[in-house]
Amino acid sequence: MKASDVVSLRATRPVPLTRMGFGGAPLGNLYRRISDEDAQGALQAAWAAGIRYFDTAPQYGLGRSEQRFGTALQGWDRRALTLSTKIGRLLVDCAPHEVTPEAFVDVPQKRIVFDYSYDGVMRSHEASLQRLGVDAVDILLVHDVDTFSHGSAEAADARVRELFDDGGYRALTELRDAGVIRAIGAGVNEWQVCERLLGLGDFDCFLLAGRYTLLEQEALESFLPLCVQRDVAVILGGPYNSGILATGAVDGARYNYAPAPPEIMERVRRIEAVCAAHGVRLIEAALQFVMGHPAVRTVIPGAVNAAEVEANVGIFSRPLPAALWSDLKSASLLRGDAPVPEGH
């Protein structure tokens, strides 16, 4: 399997995706400032490697990631790539003390207003087109209707109700039915809300960040089998669980956007030891493992410069021994029912 191999989003909506995509969160200055030169270098390296699926969001640097994508898009054949962005956060001009950077640094003077209504979806979509400098995006994703983002299950549930009761879902389906966009879905940090959304509407895909990795496989219980059954694509974000599956259990390692707790550090050390016994780096196992599940169409690791993109592409295609996966399962470090890559 190569990063540039192409698959379809789903049988009923043949939107092409390369098996590796490009995740745009780091280009919004996630945790640290990224220079414009490095950002453009990362995007151009992805294009040169044959990657043709690119994902971003208004949240990522309060528009900075979308703007950086827009710069790169000026030199690309728009028809040759698939582009996704998200709705749910409107970016509003504000006073300096009102800026809401979330996890991003060196951001424009904007504050986030959550809005999943009909008007909110349409306004967010139009603003994204302007920042991206394009006439259309291919996939529009509902962003962060989850407990992680809103602080409680009740608050997340209120956002889901807003999406359906205040017309946001209707706006998405109208855009899809009119051919303005090609597919709709959600981009979230929890598989449970994806499963709920599947019961409420006709979604084509879910961008699931960090919830199906070498460290976490609870999504195997019901959500991933349901996606296979319903022909719904999973776009896998956060394959490194915010970093620790790339860096290993080093001082300062991050897990789920925060410093990794001791029990996660210990589990990662054990996984690293099994990988080392097979001559495999942890980052290689982490990136390739997720592609073993038939629901996962593409994985979108982040990168902050050309070298990281090139490294991800190389990691993705290197053959790994089948015994690695069986040994991880024998050590109870990987679920026994987890599908693993074949001949990859």
- List the catalytic residue out of 38, 53, 60, 144: 60
Closest CA to 235 of 291, 197, 179: 291
The encoded tokens of residue 175 equal 């855009």
- List the catalytic residue out of 55, 138, 146, 204: 55
Give the integer Cα–Cα distance in Å for 29 and 35: 9
2 is catalytic: no
Between CA 259 and CA 189, with CA 105 as vertex, the angle to 5 degrees is 50
Class of residue 40 by CB neighbours under 10 A (exposed 0-12, middle 13-18, buried 19+): middle
The residues facing 235 across adjacent strands are 207, 298
Contacts 24+ apart (CB under 8 A), 5-9: 6/52, 7/297, 7/298, 8/297, 9/139, 9/183, 9/204, 9/205, 9/233, 9/297
Give the integer Cα–Cα distance in Å for 102 and 91: 13
Pairing of strands 13-18, 82-87: unpaired
Q: Are 191 and 212 in contact (CB under 8 A)?
A: yes
Gyration radius (Cα) of the chain, Å: 19
- List the catalytic residue out of 86, 138, 212, 240: 86
Residue 291 CA neighbour count, 13 Å, CB half? 27
Number of residues written out for the chain:
344
The encoded tokens of residue 228 equal 């296979």
60 is catalytic: yes
The encoded tokens of residue 30 equal 């996630």
Backbone angles phi, psi at 11, to 5 degrees: -60, -40
- Region of 133 (left: φ > 0; alpha: ψ -120 to 50; beta: rest) is left
86 is catalytic: yes
Active site residues per annotation:
55, 60, 86
